[in-house]
Structure 1
Amino acid sequence: MNKGNLKRIFYLARTTLPYLKPAKVRNLLLCELEIRRRTVQQASMPYVSLVDVTDVCNLRCPYCPTGRNQDSGRPVRVIPLDIMRRFLDEMAPHLVSINLFNWGEPFIHPHIAEIVSMCHQRNLCVTISSNLSVAFTKRILATCEAGLDYLIVSLSGIRQETYARYHKGGHLDRVIANTKAIVEWRKRLGRSRPFIEWKYLLFKHNTGEVQACEALADGLGVDIFRVKTGGGPEEVCVGDDQDPAASNCPELWRMAVLSADGGIPGCCYLYWKHDDFGEMWERTVAQVRGGERFVQGRRLFNPEESSLLPPNLDHPCLKCYRVHNQPHLKRFLTENSRAKEGHRTGAPYPYPKRENGP
């Protein structure tokens, strides 16, 4: 484990611990026990959440479905505040932390500061991941003021031409300026939060700029510099972001995911509308999580219950490599023509485009 990842663990623990109340700890422990036992009918509730506050992005990163302008079947939108409130009213008593990002750029949401405040008032540890190449410095600082705990900044180079090769349409000078503004804001008010992490996406074309970028981060006052293998075609990648040792899918128990349109996917990797497990507009999160798609998803990972799966099961989890790593499913996967492993976003080729653009 490298230095950046060790520091990240330390800062995440430091960020999260104040939010661990007795009732939430009990739910967390029960949830982890159910993950270990691969319990199909879950009694606990997720203690981590990921909410995609907007499915719109200002960049065109080539290996991101949003950056490719790939049509997910969802309307392009920002999450309505009433849906956000309904979600928090139900889930906040169980959640320890909430991540306000997934497929879009969070600072595009005009009410992102209000959403962070809603989460903070409900005693949740709040994280945002951003490209930070946005012309919304006042909005960013207002979001920090609202109670943002942890900010992840995605970048991929120390020179503009290197950075823009992946972060297409982005401006590195804007990322640096916004980082400076946050650090100066913290110093001026004597605050330590939000903790700032620069996440360097590593590809074959930018391996030579890692040290210089880390030095820049240190000079700016960034708390953590972390290198993460970027995803994409084999010819541009330096490694595989899949964990070959993964033998279970904790997300089906541990994480509550909400899309900007109110859809509830089974995990953060599911991009397509037709892969949603349910809708916030129609049912509660608890009802969706007790529904057939979640039960069948967990059943895939439970050797004692997998025999109850229909032989022709059509399920979003069937394209995930974690399912295809299950020894007890070998025959089932071979005989089910729908069980074809693919990218976890289910991206087809060629990628369909949105008709009207983002």
Structure 2
Amino acid sequence: EHASGKPFVEWQFIVFRHNEHELEATERMAYEMGINKFTPLPAYVEDENWAATDPRYRTDLGNPERLYNCDRPWSHLNVRADGGVAPCCYTFFKKDDFGNVDDDSFMEIWNNDHFRTSRRIIARTRKKLPLEKSDIACYDCMRTGIRPSFIEVAQEVQLDTQPARQARESS
């Protein structure tokens, strides 16, 4: 509409064991659709049933060097199909959305209480300063080091932690 080179659209594909076989076909589809950049990302999981077999898409969450390095609330946002805006692609519950593009402008969402709180949480964890409990998704994120385990999250929401095994058994 404004003849701008923006927005720059990036498709981020979170690689799990159950979908890593789709990586090449998904990348082809992204570029055929005119997506500017395709980025495969590791899933932040500790359960081997979920973890990708390709070492490029695995994480070592026990390594402190992997923690405290999130820049997402300052550099990214994710818009879901329903217009919901998430701070990153690692949140997957609607309750964790920071807004909706159908209801508010980009700038209103980018500077709202949710984004400001998430930035404060991450800045404080980098400095290892105490935090007040928050219902913002970044508070419970494994990348910040506050919640140490994907398994805790899965158990909390009664998520089945055996999808890869079940998918293999059913095929």
| TM-score, structure 1 as length reference | 0.31
In 2, Cα distance between equivalents of 1:343 and 1:130: 23
Is 1:234–2:43 an aligned residue pair? no
Deviation per CA, 1:143-198, whole angstroms, max 9, x where unpaired?
Answer: 63x6455557xxxxxxxxxxxxxxxxxxxxxxxxxxxxxxxxxxxxxxxxxxxxxx
Which is greater in Rg? Answer: 1
Is 1:283–2:97 an aligned residue pair? no
> Residues 302 and 320 from structure 1, CA distance in 2 versus in 1: closer, same or farther, beyond 3 angstroms?
same
Would the aligned equivalents of 1:319 and 1:343 in 2 still touch at CA under 8 Å?
Answer: no
Specify which of 25, 48, 58 is matched with residue 132 of structure 1: 25
Would the aligned equivalents of 2:96 and 2:137 in 1 still touch at CA under 8 Å?
Answer: yes
SS at match of 2:25: coil
> Residues 229 and 247 from structure 1, CA distance in 2 versus in 1: closer, same or farther, beyond 3 angstroms?
closer
Match of 2:9, as an amino acid?
I
> Residues 231 and 132 from structure 1, CA distance in 2 versus in 1: closer, same or farther, beyond 3 angstroms?
farther
CA RMSD across the alignment: 4.2
Alignment of 1:76-155 (within 5 A): 93=6, 95=7, 97-102=8-13, 130=23, 132=25, 140=29, 144=32, 147-148=34-35
Alignment of 1:189-208 (within 5 A): none
Specify which of 323, 336, 344 is matched with residue 144 of structure 2: 323
Match of 1:278, as an amino acid?
G
Partner of 2:18: none
SS at match of 1:264: strand
Structure 2 segments unaligned to the other structure (5+ residues): 15-21, 161-171
In 2, Cα distance between equivalents of 1:258 and 1:236: 25
Between the two proteins, the alignment pairs up a number of residues equal to 138
Partner of 2:64: 244
In 2, Cα distance between equivalents of 1:229 and 1:271: 12
Deviation per CA, 1:57-105, whole angstroms, max 9, x where unpaired?
Answer: xxxxxxxxxxxxxxxxxxxxxxxxxxxx9xxx7x965x5x3213557xx
Specify which of 294, 298, 301 is matched with residue 122 of structure 2: 301
Would the aligned equivalents of 1:277 and 1:293 in 2 still touch at CA under 8 Å?
Answer: yes
Equivalent pairs: percent with the same residue? Answer: 20
> Residues 289 and 92 from structure 1, CA distance in 2 versus in 1: closer, same or farther, beyond 3 angstroms?
farther
SS at match of 1:132: helix
| TM-score, structure 2 as length reference | 0.58
In 1, Cα distance between equivalents of 2:11 and 2:111: 24
Would the aligned equivalents of 1:320 and 1:342 in 2 still touch at CA under 8 Å?
Answer: no
Match of 2:150, as an amino acid?
H
